[in-house]
Amino acid sequence: MTLLLFLLTGLLVFLIMSLVEGGARVETAAERLQRLVAQRKALEGFATRDLPGAPLPPADERRPRPSLRMAVQQTLVGAVERATTGSSTSNRLEAQLTQADWKWKPAEFMVAQAVAAGGGLLASVLALPQLWFLFAIGGWVLPKILLRQAIAKRQRLFGTQLPDALAMIANAMRSGYSFLQAMDVVSREMPAPINKEFELALKEARVNIPVEEALQHMVKRVQSPDLDLVVTAVLIQRQVGGNLSEILEKIGDTIRDRIRMQGEVRSLTAQGRMSGWIISLLPVALGLLMHLIMPGAMTPLFTHPIGIALLVMGVVMQGLGIFMIRRMVNLEV
């Protein structure tokens, strides 16, 4: 048993180090577009020369010899990628990774989930063998929770930056800039993440993708209803005409007022959210306190089948309570 635990621990540490350090570098959509734009500019410059010059330097085909850790990671990721490519789960996970701006492939994230589940299983074997399934499920779900938190944080930051970006576009268009030139101003002057999204849309337009499609791709990446409203207004204006700068300024003022109202709602529901956190953490704190005062009093919950069933039921009901409290305090504005 000790040897099995030692081997399992070594394997998990090995896989975690492989995922952290990364194997082969994955080319993102933004990097691929940047490479295509650079190649196009180089070819255009080469074609306009008066005299033929030396051809473009070939890419260096010499690659470093992969280490054992990189080989194992590539093997695991490759096997998962071959098994999941084209599936709905892989496509949905790829969209979520793009929304969070994580430079991972879906197969790499699935391997990370498996490693986290194995780590939870190992922790349960060392601490509470009776609850091995809860630890394994928690380890599998934890990366997904972190991914959703990253998506929500990026969407909130994008939403707070959008009114300023719309005001910048409106002012630039009043100064005589075109819409694409105004987008370029936003990509150069605004901070992340909004500058990255506008820059990627501009790069798509520069490789002969229609502006309408580039804007719709940005809406699909960000998944923001405010941005969807902005893009819809831009598309309608490009078809029927109108004063786009005035339209964007009004939309920006509306979004800014809605963000202010959301802040007021959050301040009014702060007490409810704090009550939810206290109610959620109170059973855990009470159990730890009882374990410190009377160490043997909590043992049947982890050893007796009825105690384990009650513990699982309590965790499920606690999760449902947290979900209901969050639904009550999160009001849509």
Domains and CATH numbers, the chain: 156-259 (1.20.81), 269-329 (no CATH)
Q: How far apart are CA 147 and CA 93, in angstroms?
A: 10
Residue whose tokens read 């790829």:
94
How many other CB atoms are there within 10 angstroms of residue 46's CB atom?
Answer: 13
Q: How far apart are CA 77 and CA 246, in angstroms?
A: 50
- Exposed/middle/buried for residue 95 (C-beta within 10 Å: 0-12, 13-18, 19+): middle
Give the closest residue to 106 by CA, choosing from 148, 137, 78. Answer: 78
pLDDT at residue number 276? 78
pLDDT in tens, 125-166: 776 666 677 778 888 888 898 999 999 899 889 989 999 999
Identify which has the larger pLDDT, 179 or 27: 179
Both structure tokens of 38: 């650079």
pLDDT at residue number 2? 46
* Of the candidate ranges 119-123, 319-323, 329-333, the one whose mean pLDDT is the lowest: 329-333
Residue 171 — pLDDT band, cuts 50, 70, 90?
very high
pLDDT at residue number 141? 87
Highest mean pLDDT among 97-101, 131-135, 178-182, 267-271: 178-182
Residue 49 — pLDDT band, cuts 50, 70, 90?
very low
pLDDT in tens, 54-89: 454 455 445 556 566 666 667 777 777 777 777 778
* Of the candidate ranges 70-74, 193-197, 251-255, the one whose mean pLDDT is the lowest: 70-74
